[in-house]
Amino acid sequence: MHGLNFDPDICVRCTTCDCVMKCQYMEYDLETAIQEHEKLVAGEQSKILTDCVTCYACEEYCPYNNHPFYLIVDRQEERGIHPVPKPIEKSQVVMMGPNGRLKSKEVSPPVMNMCFFTVMNASIRGTLFDGVTKFGGSDVFCNLMFLHFARNSTISERLPLMIENIMEKFLTPAGVDEVICYHDECYGTYTSWAPAYGIDVPFKPIHLFDYIYHRMLELKPRIKPLGVKVAYQRPCSNRLCPQTDHFVDDIFSLIGVERPKREFEYENALCCGGVPEAQQRFELSEDLQKKNIEDMKATGATYGVFNCPFCFWTLAEQVIKAGMVPIMMSDLCLMALGE
Ligand code: SF4
Ligand code: SF4
């Protein structure tokens, strides 16, 4: 297994312990936070290991990029702490594993990796995605969801093979060196997790919103400003690539929508409630969903805008019941193009 690039000395010198103090799911005072984190670093039992709901956010909170969440996952796995019941974990590892049936396909730029979201294929449509060639499926699945299952070892074992598949079957024969990642989780895999574990990524990952923003700039003369209020649901996965979050505002500004302030957005975003750990705790999941919906509604938004399909599937029905329209960002952009 590839080892985590984590420096304990940075934590020793850190006096704010932001990774724990900013966590929205643990309420520790600073002294307790530092003590519990020291235990974590030392590889001892810490209540952080069982209190963590695996929301990824402390990867963003740590000002030194010292990978506090990846460390939690490593320690959970070392100590046999399972955020979800072992039978579910085992079945997910089998179900989501590579099936070895990947076929080569001729691709030409722009190329998009749909990862395991082939079910969302139809959403890559219209002028916005003209000429995009796609691939996806279990043999190119980033496997990063296993962070929720205390299975860094599964990611570490499978990711190099997935990268090899992407290169051999698609990119190398076509001489392509850039891939748009349909999901934040994929982009986070290639720009955060892989470097943290010393795994080489031989292509340039492009964030979906980076692609959408620049494509919409090209199509600017065709944009009809929508003139509506929207509320955005930031996904957990984006905590691994917070440098891309500005594209949300950039796109909204381009398509003429207003984003009234939410309590739970940007760094203060809340999990949608669909994360496996939350699903194990019914009240927690219900509470997160309720807080998100009430918060969205309080903005007076007409649309609830999503990036992650899982967030969409978790909250869409409640968004409708609250009088708003749930929509993926790409579809909102297509509306602005009159499509
Ligand atoms: S992981 Fe980051 S925020 Fe947490 S104690 Fe270490 S340096 Fe501080
Ligand atoms: S992953 Fe989320 S819940 Fe877990 S410690 Fe980090 S911020 Fe808290």
What does the pLDDT read at residue 83?
87
Look at residue 1 and tell me whether its pLDDT is greater than 70. Answer: no
- Strands of the sheet with 230-233, listed across from one edge: 230-233, 303-306, 325-328
Q: For the chain, give the percent of residues with pLDDT over 70.
A: 99
Q: How confident is the model at residue 274 (pLDDT cuts 50, 70, 90)?
A: confident
Look at residue 22 and tell me whether its pLDDT is greater than 70. Answer: yes
Query: Which residues neighbour 146 within 8 Å (Cβ) at sequence distance 6 or greater?
Result: 92, 93, 152, 154, 155
What does the pLDDT read at residue 280?
72
What does the pLDDT read at residue 159?
97
Dist. CA 58–CA 42, nearest whole Å: 18
Which of 9, 39, 66 to probe ligand 1 with, by most ligand atoms within 8 A of CB? 66
| Contact present, 275 and 246 (Cβ < 8 Å) | no
Q: Please name which ligand lies nearest the alpha carbon of 9.
A: 1
Look at residue 272 and tell me whether its pLDDT is greater than 90. Answer: yes
3-class SS of residue 230: strand
Dist. CA 58–CA 296, nearest whole Å: 23
What does the pLDDT read at residue 72?
98
Look at residue 277 and tell me whether its pLDDT is greater than 80. Answer: no
Dist. CA 11–CA 255, nearest whole Å: 43
Average pLDDT over residues 247-261: 98
Asked whether 67 lines ligand 1 (CB < 6 A), one says no
Domain locations along the chain: 8-79, 94-212, 219-336
Q: What is the pLDDT of residues 174-183, one digit of tens each?
A: 999 999 999 9
| Contact present, 314 and 289 (Cβ < 8 Å) | yes
Dist. CA 171–CA 156, nearest whole Å: 22
Dist. CA 82–CA 301, nearest whole Å: 38
Cα–Cα nearest to 254, from 324, 337, 339, 130: 337
Cα–Cα nearest to 134, from 145, 125, 144: 125
Q: What is the pLDDT of residues 70-123, one digit of tens each?
A: 999 999 999 999 888 888 889 999 999 999 889 999 999 999 999 999 899 889
Look at residue 276 and tell me whether its pLDDT is greater than 90. Answer: no
Asked whether 269 lines ligand 2 (CB < 6 A), one says no
Torsion of Cα atoms, 237 then 242 then 243 then 247, to 10° = 70
CA 211 to chain centre: 16
pTM (2 decimals)? 0.95
Which of 5, 12, 13, 17 to probe ligand 1 with, by most ligand atoms within 8 A of CB? 17
Check residue 266 and report its DSSP letter. G
Question: Alpha carbon of 15 to those of 10, 31, 61, 62, 267: distances in Å?
Answer: 10, 10, 14, 12, 20
CA 304 to chain centre: 18
Q: Is 297 exposed, middle or buried (0-12, 13-18, 19+ CB in 10 A)?
A: middle
Average pLDDT over residues 206-218: 98
Where b means 16+ CB within 10 Å and e means fewer, 3-16 reads: ebeeeeeebeebee
- Taking the CA of residue 68 as reference, the ligand 1 atom at the shortest distance is 1
Report the CATH fold assignment for 219-336: Rossmann fold (3.40.50)
Can you tell me which residue has the tokens 């309420």?
27
Can you tell me which residue has the tokens 């984190």?
37
Asked whether 211 lines ligand 2 (CB < 6 A), one says no
Q: What is the pLDDT of residues 132-177, one digit of tens each?
A: 999 999 999 999 999 999 999 999 999 999 999 999 999 999 999 9
